[in-house]
Amino acid sequence: MNKILIFLEHNVGKLKRVSYELITAGRTLAKSKNIPFDGVIFNSTNETIETAKEYGLSKVLHINSSSFEKYSVSLFAKAISNLIQRNGYDFILFPANSRGSELAPRVAASLEASFIADCVGFDYSDGELIVIKPVYAGKAHIKAKMYGTVKICSLRPNVFTAIPEPVQEVVVENFGPNIDASATKEVVIDTLKNEGKLDVLEADIIVSGGRGIKGPENYYLIEQLANIFNGAVGASRAVVDAGWRPHSEQVGQTGKTVSPTLYVACGISGAIQHLAGMSTSKYILAINKDKDAPIFKVADYGVVGDLFNVIPKLIEKVKAVKE
């Protein structure tokens, strides 16, 4: 490993939290090997990039051109591959969120690089880098070695803690990819925003509802509890399939993989496909009226009871603590 590159993402003028997590992970790796680590970002501002210096990133390659104003996965992947080849990066970190998950494998394929997705840890014990990732819906972890010149990993959001370690300045270098920007295969023409709604992938606390909530008209309870925690609302697939909530909120194997500090599962049985998406949460609180529900096997805290009684009481308690 000689030179690390970190893919940085920004949203409404701010670096995403996962970018700080990646910078921290990259910084730790770079320090252990005494090698440089840089960031790459598309169409941002110097003010946004500046914030990276709080986490120890001192150089960012800025791909700042109207050709990249609208997101195109094929074009962005080509530009990053071009940067990796021209500047000689050999270890690249992406977030294992929706954007990173579609860019990283494309970049890896185009460079014939080794690629491990959804990593939750690194082990450097015998001087060699070992990558750790969950398998079998989080029931086991594998440790893997990577071979080849270029190695790429995507890191699960909310697993690597972002730890500040300021440097004096971050040097921003404009990078113009040497690619045919008109040869894009697709482009995002519009993004429909969920105004004011915190996405489960970005949230530190998630309150999710399952079939136990009985119907969409009762989801206000989940929303109230999420609001009081300044958290995001999630859902099980049963709830999404029933049309009670949008798919963007679904947590699990065919939904989103989350690792918040606190995951509150209300009226969710804890099927393996749901656990696959949330079992790496730091703390899990389950509210379920069935004491044998599988969710209690992974929960740190459990309340056996009717959620229609428990949630309003919990809201009152949290309110009282906050006041």
* Residue numbers at the binding site for ligand FAD (CB under 6 A): 210-212, 236-239, 250-255, 267-269, 271, 273-274, 277, 287-290, 293, 306-308
Name the strand (E) or helix (H) holding 104.
helix 98-111
CB atoms within 10 A of CB 230: 10
Q: Which two tokens stand for residue 255?
A: 């939904």
- Residue 33 or 289 with smaller CB distance to ligand FAD: 289
- Residue 150 or 207 with smaller CB distance to ligand FAD: 207
CB of 161 to ligand FAD, least distance (A): 26
- Residue 97 or 250 with smaller CB distance to ligand FAD: 250
- Residue 46 or 309 with smaller CB distance to ligand FAD: 309
Q: Which residue lies nearest ligand FAD, judged by its C-beta? A: 252
Buried b (16+ CB within 10 A) or exposed e, 64-91: beebbeebbbbbbbbbbbbbbeeeebbb
Residue with tokens 């500040």: 164
- Residue 212 or 231 with smaller CB distance to ligand FAD: 212
Assign 220 to helix, strand or coil. Answer: helix
Residue 173 one-letter amino acid? E
* Distances in whole angstroms, Cα of residue 309 to Cα of each of 172, 222, 232, 260, 262: 54, 13, 21, 25, 21
- Residue 110 or 273 with smaller CB distance to ligand FAD: 273
Q: Is the dihedral of CA 102, 104, 105, 109 positive or negative?
A: positive
* Distances in whole angstroms, Cα of residue 92 to Cα of each of 28, 86, 226, 274: 14, 14, 35, 30
DSSP string of 118-162, one letter each residue: EE-EEE-TTSS-EEEEEEGGGTEEEEE---SS-EEEEE-TTTS--
- Residue 123 or 306 with smaller CB distance to ligand FAD: 306
The answer to whether 160 and 21 have CB atoms below 8 angstroms apart is: yes
CB of 26 to ligand FAD, least distance (A): 30
